[in-house]
Amino acid sequence: MSESEYEELEKVLSWEQPSKEATERFLSLFRFYFSPTFHGTENLDASRPTMYVANHSRYSLADPVLMIGIYDTVGEVPRGLADRMHFKVPLFRDFVTSLGAVIGDRELVRGLLRARQSIVVFPGGAREVMKKRNENYRLVWKERVGFVRLAVEMNYTITPVGVAGGDDCFDVIADVVGQTDLVAAVGIHDIDLVIAVAFRVKQQLRAIRRPVAQRIYSHFAGEAGLVGAVGVHHVDFVITAITGRLEYDLRSIR
C-alpha cells in the first residue's frame, strides 16, 4: 500500500458515527415518505459485523431505507460503498462522506473489514441504478464478485438484503444512450470529469422528475452465513445463493 493509500485508509477509519439526533433527523425523511416495512431483522446481530449485500433501487432513491432497519435493530449506521463519481461532485461528496460512505476501492474495503466494521455493498453499481424501462427489480450485477472474494478472505458474514418498492417510484418514459456514448456525442474525452453531469442528464431524460411515494419493503436474509467457511473456490456457489435469495425476496416481499 502506498503512502497516499495509507493516509486515505487512516482518514476512512477515523470516521465517527453521526450523533443519534443527526441520524434520526436524516432517516426521518425516509420514514415519512416511504413508511418502510422490514422483515428478517431477527437475523441481524449487533455483536458481529457483516457485509450487507443489496439491490439498488432506481436512481438510488430508496437505498437509504435499508439503513433504517439496520439502525433501529443494531444501533449503528454501516459504511456504504459508493462509486467514485459521488466524490467528484462538490458539496455532495462532503454529504456522503459525513454519512460514512467510502469509495469502493479494494484496499479501503479490506481495511474496513480488518477493523471489523459493517459495510453495505450494491454490486449492481451505476448500471443497476439506471435501470431501463423493462428492468424493474432485475439484478444487474454483471461480473462484480469482488465483494464475495473479500468476504471469503476476511471470513465475513454476508447478509443479503432485498429492497422492493423503489423501482415503482418512477415511470421511465424513454431509454437513452449510455454514459460513454453521451460523452462521445458532446466531444468530451475525460469521462471522470463529465460522468456526474451525464448521470443527472440521464435522470431527467429517463424519468418523471417527481417520484411517487411507495411503501418500501426490505428483507434481511440470514442464509449466507460465514462465507469464509466455504473457501475461495466456491465463490460462484455463494453468488448463486445470494442472487437467488434476492430474486426470491424481490418477487415475494411486496
pLDDT, tens digit, for every residue of 192-229? 444 555 555 555 444 455 566 788 899 898 755 445 44
5 lies in some domain: no
Residues 39 and 123 occupy one common structural domain: yes
1 lies in some domain: no
Q: What percent of the chain is predicted at pLDDT more than 70?
A: 77
pLDDT of 1: 67
pLDDT in tens, 15-43: 998 899 999 999 999 999 899 999 889 98
Residues 122 and 143 occupy one common structural domain: yes
Q: What percent of the chain is predicted at pLDDT more than 90?
A: 23
Residue pair 150/227 in contact by the 8 Å Cβ criterion: no
Does the pLDDT at position 97 exceed 50? Answer: yes
Residues 73 and 86 occupy one common structural domain: yes
The H-assigned helical ranges of the chain are 3-13, 20-34, 65-74, 92-98, 106-114, 125-129, 146-154, 179-186, 191-206, 235-252
27 lies in some domain: yes
Residues 141 and 222 occupy one common structural domain: yes
How does residue 240 score in pLDDT terms, banded at 50, 70 and 90? confident
pLDDT in tens, 141-152: 877 778 888 888
Residues 79 and 187 occupy one common structural domain: no
Does the pLDDT at position 155 exceed 60? Answer: yes
> Can you read off the three cell numbers belonging to residue 42?
431477527
10 lies in some domain: no
122 lies in some domain: yes
β-strand pairing of 157-164 with 217-220: antiparallel
Residues 22 and 139 occupy one common structural domain: yes
52 lies in some domain: yes
Q: Which among 76, 244, 246, 80 is positioned nearest to 160, based on CA atoms?
A: 246
Total number of domains in the chain: 2
CA distances from 119 to 51, 113, 177, 232 (A): 5, 8, 32, 20
Residues 89 and 190 occupy one common structural domain: no
Q: Which residue segment(s) compose the domain that 231 sits in?
A: 17-172+211-252
Residues 69 and 163 occupy one common structural domain: yes
- For the segment 244-251, the average pLDDT, to the nearest whole number, is 76
Residues 189 and 231 occupy one common structural domain: no
Average model confidence (pLDDT) for the chain?
Answer: 79
Does the pLDDT at position 65 exceed 60? Answer: yes
Residues 72 and 107 occupy one common structural domain: yes
Residues 168 and 184 occupy one common structural domain: no
Does the pLDDT at position 167 exceed 60? Answer: yes
Residues 246 and 121 occupy one common structural domain: yes
220 lies in some domain: yes
> Can you read off the three cell numbers belonging to residue 234?
466456491
pLDDT of 126: 81
Residue pair 223/160 in contact by the 8 Å Cβ criterion: yes
163 lies in some domain: yes
Number of H-type helices and E-type strands within the chain = 10, 7
10 Å CB burial of residue 190 (0-12, 13-18, 19+) is exposed
pTM score of the predicted model: 0.82
